[in-house]
Structure 1
Amino acid sequence: MLRLAVDLAILTVRNNALHVLVITRGKEPFLGSLALPGGFLRAGEDLRAAAVRELREETGLDGRDMHLEQLATYGRPDRDPRGRVVSVAYLTIAPDLPAPEAGSDAASALWVPISKAQSRLAFDHDDILRDAVERARTRLEFTTLATAFCGPTFTVGDLRKVYEVVWDQPLDPRNFSRKVLNTAGFIEATGQKRIPQLGRPAALYRRGDQQTLNPPILRSNGGPELEAISVDR
């Protein structure tokens, strides 16, 4: 019998590194293994509602107000040893989220750096995580989604750090700042400044009303320099 499930790749930036939320499975199959949060749909349940419910039951986090988008559908016949299971995966992106609390069939829930989670997950969740990270990286090129990793207010430096962490490459601060500030609707000035203990005050911004970037901010293909960020393109 075919069963339908949802899985969630929940990404956030913590301690200047891209993290994913994983659980330690509390029952078979893959008892004790790391996995993405998820589970089976209930009768008459909407897909998104199931994703929000599983997130709450397995980690204690409330996904109702998070950025939540369908990533892909995974249906390899042998992906679940319990039988034929097709999973609809969701990508969730949010600012620095609190520590999760395990529940349901999860023995524990924790944030793990992407580099440590890859190639360690149960089922086909390594594939889901790989696709989720690539989707997030691509979305940062063509949309203003990077602001979803930031809090209500942030500096241009904070936003640049999101790009550097998600893309795993350094960016030129001056080019990045020029590009962002010259893109109408990307961010909006709050009129306030962050006063650090050391260094110069930095202007604070909030996310703007623009959802797409034109022209896009593209990753460099040739090395650590952000060759593609330029206003004159």
Structure 2
Amino acid sequence: MSDQHPDAYDASTYPSVFVTVDLAVFTIRNGALSVLLIERGDEPYAGRWALPGGFINPDEDAEQAAWRELAEETGVEQWAGHLEQLKTYSAPDRDPRHRIVSVAHVAFAPNLPAPVAGDDARNARWWAVDDVVGGEDAPELAFDHAEILDDAIERVRSKLEYTTLATEFVEEPFTLAELHRVYAAVWGRPPSLGAFRRKVISTKGFVEATSTKGGTQAVGRPATLYRRGGAAILQPAMLRQHATEPGAGD
């Protein structure tokens, strides 16, 4: 271990590296998994769509910066959804301005409002994920945000397999039909309805039934309303079905 005095440290001998946060913010709108994008107003990539984000302030850590950016980009001051760190993106050429490292985050919550564009954005809006990833008129995203978005989508889809976080996409109280529609929207293919109901109800702490009824079931009876339970992990997992597998949506 070096015994060099701290005053002898010369920061100028090291190249400057800037740190930002980027945010893949998801909600479900009109039955579709949707992501928040902003249209950049400044160079680089002026006019292109991008994930919201910004530089980390000197008095912030990455999580604090992410919470701040969420409030600024969504207009929701008291964030009630889920936020977690996704991955660090550090390719030397990912930003043409400087050497910039991004700590990307994933966030999702139910019924998020229409966003208001910040000072450096021309526009901000929700996009259906299918229109951004593989859509006929999919926008070309700025920086490496297409890669970040792909990783974020897979993170959310896999999270629904082995955790109870699907309940963060619905407002309480909710019906099992509403929760089932979350899986259909996020995975793109609904899980078998019968197996889904059995899994949710039989998993201790997944959901908790309330004392009230709401909505209407297919047979005309009022549906049971639920709230989030205390469990975090699904064991065993509820695996999604892919297009080549039989039985999806039964």
Find out whether 1:173 has 2:173 as its counterpart. no
Structure 2 unpaired stretches of 5+? 1-15
Pick one of 80, 86, 89 that aligns with 2:101.
86
Amino acid at match of 1:156: L
Residue in structure 2 matched with residue 156 of structure 1 by the alignment? 176
CA contact (8 A) 2:27 2:35 kept: yes
Shift of 1:113: 0.4
Over residues 132-152 of structure 1, what are the superposed CA-to-partner deviations in whole Å (9 max), with x where a residue is unaligned?
Answer: 110011110110000000101
Residue in structure 2 matched with residue 22 of structure 1 by the alignment? 37
Find out whether 1:131 has 2:120 as its counterpart. no
Pick one of 178, 201, 225 that aligns with 2:247.
225
Residue in structure 2 matched with residue 43 of structure 1 by the alignment? 58
Moved more, 115-124 or 137-146: 115-124
Over residues 42-77 of structure 1, what are the superposed CA-to-partner deviations in whole Å (9 max), with x where a residue is unaligned?
Answer: 112111111122223334233643311000000111
CA distance in 2 between counterparts of 1:224 and 1:82 reads 49
Over residues 131-188 of structure 1, what are the superposed CA-to-partner deviations in whole Å (9 max), with x where a residue is unaligned?
Answer: 1110011110110000000101111111111111111112221111111101111000
CA contact (8 A) 2:40 2:120 kept: yes
CA distance in 1 between counterparts of 2:185 and 2:48 reads 26
CA distance in 1 between counterparts of 2:201 and 2:209 reads 10
CA distance in 1 between counterparts of 2:204 and 2:246 reads 27
CA contact (8 A) 1:55 1:63 kept: no
CA contact (8 A) 1:52 1:63 kept: no
- Larger-gyration structure (1/2): 2
Pick one of 116, 123, 148 that aligns with 2:131.
116
CA contact (8 A) 2:39 2:49 kept: yes
Aligned-pair Cα RMSD in Å: 2.0
Count residues with an aligned counterpart: 228
CA distance in 1 between counterparts of 2:77 and 2:115 reads 10
Moved more, 80-89 or 218-227: 218-227
Moved more, 204-213 or 97-106: 97-106
Over residues 194-215 of structure 1, what are the superposed CA-to-partner deviations in whole Å (9 max), with x where a residue is unaligned?
Answer: 1349843211100100000111
CA contact (8 A) 1:58 1:104 kept: no
Shift of 1:40: 0.8
CA contact (8 A) 1:12 1:149 kept: yes
Q: Rate the CA distance shift 1:224–1:4 in 2: closer, same or farther, 3 A.
A: farther
CA distance in 1 between counterparts of 2:88 and 2:118 reads 25
TM-score, length basis structure 1: 0.92
CA contact (8 A) 1:60 1:103 kept: no
Pick one of 214, 217, 228 that aligns with 1:207.
228
CA distance in 1 between counterparts of 2:217 and 2:170 reads 21
Residue in structure 2 matched with residue 97 of structure 1 by the alignment? 112
Q: Rate the CA distance shift 1:59–1:69 in 2: closer, same or farther, 3 A.
A: same
Q: Secondary structure at the match of 1:43?
A: coil
